[in-house]
Structure 1
Amino acid sequence: MCAGSTFAMKAALIVAASLLALSAAQAAPDCSASAAPGVDWTGCSKKVIVISGSDLKGATLVETDFTSTDLRDSNLMAANFEKATLVRASLAGSHAEGAKFDRIEAYRTNFSGLLAKGATFASAELQRSNFANANLVDVDFTKADLGRADFTGADITGAKFALANLSRADLSKAKFTGALDFANAFLFLTRFEGQDLSAATGLQQWQVDMSCGDAQTKLPAGLNVPGNWPCAFD
């Protein structure tokens, strides 16, 4: 091989290596970056800070730690929060349509007034979280832990609760029309007082027997009102 060919090959390798390094640098998360659309905060610590009103549309927030952080009134549309920590954080009043909250940790988190149509919360840890007055139309809560969650005034039309834990969750004042999916959901003391569940899918007698309703609660055909309704609460 002539010297010219060897030099050209080395030059090509150097250029390729430089391009790969540049690409890797551009793809790496930047934890020092300010909140902005499309920002990559993968694995970053953003806990106990106030960033309310931020525009994080389309941001990559995978495994980001937002513990006790104020994210109120932010644009979170299509953001990816998968495996993020949102314990005691506030997303109240934020736009999160199409956002991905799968497998997040969000105990006692404030999602009140959240606009999250079409978002996903699959396998999320959401115990004691507040979804009051949120727009949760077509939201996927499959396998989510929603123990003691509050859905007062929330629109849950088309929501999927298959395999979810809704023990002691309050859906008695939630709003919805049509079918909700409760296939194999755990409904221990789940509150359905006054709700029309006649179009619900996946609902079985064993689930109804452990839930809480009243004389106004309507059940799908073939299911019977338990003798212990209405439940007694302290």
Structure 2
Amino acid sequence: MNSTVSASEQWYIRRGEVIRGPFTEAKIAHYLLHGRIKKNDELSLDQQQWQFSSEFPQLLPLMFQDAADDAFQRQQLMARKQWEAQRELSAKEPRYQPLLTDACDDAVETVRLDEHEVVGALASGLGKKKPLNRLLVGLVIFSLLGAMAMMIYLNSPEPEVAGIDCTVSAAPKVNWSNCQMAAARLSNADLSGALMQNMNLSRADLRGSLLMGANLSFTNLSAALLNDADVRQAKLVGVNLSGADLEGAIFDGADLSYADLGGANLAGTRFNGAKLDKAIWRDGRICAEGSVGVCQ
């Protein structure tokens, strides 16, 4: 399989005999970032040809691709992972569907091994009484402790999602998380504040719908119709909107970090104050970190 990726492609993960998917590229990057895909797990675009995840370094955000192998830079990498995770996860919301949580065990073991190196560096640095050495050792220890805390947090059991009912009709604050509703007819529906994470709504008709404050993170909305939809203040982290018709839709204040907008129709679409960090724009560009309202 060619390891060159396309923004709108759907991915599958295989561990042993278990296959999960499909997932967007943004979601695969999310799992890689949090250590939930192990180096021996395999990825595929067609469930026929499989390659180890380590053969797709381009799926990780660029800031994590060039980390060196020495102990100090490994700790820097873990600290940056912690920072990235804290940006995306709200302390008030449960996380959904742990994928491959035992990968965190390996990460914690790696941190423990590196702890011996840090202790040695501490003894050496403080013995020489050099301010620069002490500062360096302090930074390493701070990074180590933060990384260990984050690994323990990510490895803890995630709370059950209560109240999911895929059979109820569209209504404000409905809980449809993980429901399969491809090609659903939901035009002019009021779904304000709804929980709609990790759904399959590909080709769904949501024209004129109200999605204010809804959570659609990691939902598949590829080729969906959202003309004139009101999506203000919604959470759409990692959502797949590739090929969707978003003409006239309002995304003011929404969080579209890591979203896939490849090939979407954005005629008259409004993004005032919307977060577009690392989102894939309609022309395939990756929006810069800190992009707000406009893909930079």
What TM-score results when the alignment is normalised by the length of structure 2? 0.43
Q: Greater helix share, 1 or 2?
A: 2
Q: Does structure 1 residue 32 correspond to structure 2 residue 158?
A: no
Deviates more, 1:71-80 or 1:127-136: 127-136
Q: Does structure 1 residue 55 correspond to structure 2 residue 190?
A: yes
Aligned to 2:278: 143
User: 1:41 is matched by which residue type in structure 2?
Assistant: W
Is the CA contact (8 Å cut-off) linking 1:48 and 1:70 kept in structure 2? yes
User: 2:174 is matched by which residue type in structure 1?
Assistant: V
* Shift, 1:97, TM fit: 0.7
String of CA shifts for 1:170-211, please: whole Å, max 9, x gaps: xxxxxxxxx9673xxxxxxxxxxxxxxxxxxxxxxxxxxxxx
Is the CA contact (8 Å cut-off) linking 1:145 and 1:164 kept in structure 2? no
Alpha-carbon separation, structure 2, partners of 1:28 and 1:65: 18
Aligned to 2:205: 70
From the CA coordinates, give the structure whose radius of gyration is larger.
1
The correspondence for 2:221, drawn from 65, 86, 95, is: 86
Q: Greater strand share, 1 or 2?
A: 2
Structure 1 residues 103 and 25: alpha-carbon distance in aligned structure 2, compared to 1, 3 A threshold: closer
Q: Superposition pairs for residues 155-234 of structure 1, below 5 Å?
A: 161-163=287-289, 182=296
Alpha-carbon separation, structure 1, partners of 2:220 and 2:200: 5
Alpha-carbon separation, structure 1, partners of 2:272 and 2:248: 13
User: 1:106 is matched by which residue type in structure 2?
Assistant: L
Alpha-carbon separation, structure 1, partners of 2:246 and 2:262: 12
Q: Aligned residues, how many?
A: 136
Alpha-carbon separation, structure 1, partners of 2:295 and 2:262: 20
* Shift, 1:107, TM fit: 1.1
Is the CA contact (8 Å cut-off) linking 2:276 and 2:294 kept in structure 1? no
Q: Does structure 1 residue 104 correspond to structure 2 residue 239?
A: yes
* Shift, 1:28, TM fit: 2.8
* Shift, 1:100, TM fit: 0.9
Alpha-carbon separation, structure 2, partners of 1:88 and 1:80: 19
What TM-score results when the alignment is normalised by the length of structure 1? 0.54
Alpha-carbon separation, structure 2, partners of 1:122 and 1:129: 16
Is the CA contact (8 Å cut-off) linking 1:87 and 1:106 kept in structure 2? yes
Q: Does structure 1 residue 117 correspond to structure 2 residue 252?
A: yes
String of CA shifts for 1:197-228, please: whole Å, max 9, x gaps: xxxxxxxxxxxxxxxxxxxxxxxxxxxxxxxx
Alpha-carbon separation, structure 2, partners of 1:62 and 1:130: 23
Alpha-carbon separation, structure 1, partners of 2:219 and 2:201: 7
- The gaps in structure 1 that reach 5 residues or longer are 1-23, 150-160, 166-178, 183-234
Alpha-carbon separation, structure 1, partners of 2:290 and 2:242: 15
User: 1:162 is matched by which residue type in structure 2?
Assistant: A
* Shift, 1:27, TM fit: 2.1
Alpha-carbon separation, structure 2, partners of 1:65 and 1:46: 6
- The gaps in structure 2 that reach 5 residues or longer are 1-158
* Shift, 1:64, TM fit: 0.9
Alpha-carbon separation, structure 1, partners of 2:231 and 2:204: 16
User: 2:177 is matched by which residue type in structure 1?
Assistant: T
Residue 27 of structure 1 aligns to a residue whose secondary structure is coil
Residue 126 of structure 1 aligns to a residue whose secondary structure is coil
Residue 186 of structure 2 aligns to a residue whose secondary structure is coil
Aligned to 1:224: none
Alpha-carbon separation, structure 2, partners of 1:69 and 1:181: 26
* Shift, 1:126, TM fit: 1.3
Alpha-carbon separation, structure 1, partners of 2:251 and 2:269: 7
Return structure 1 stretches of 4+ with deviation > 3 angstroms: none
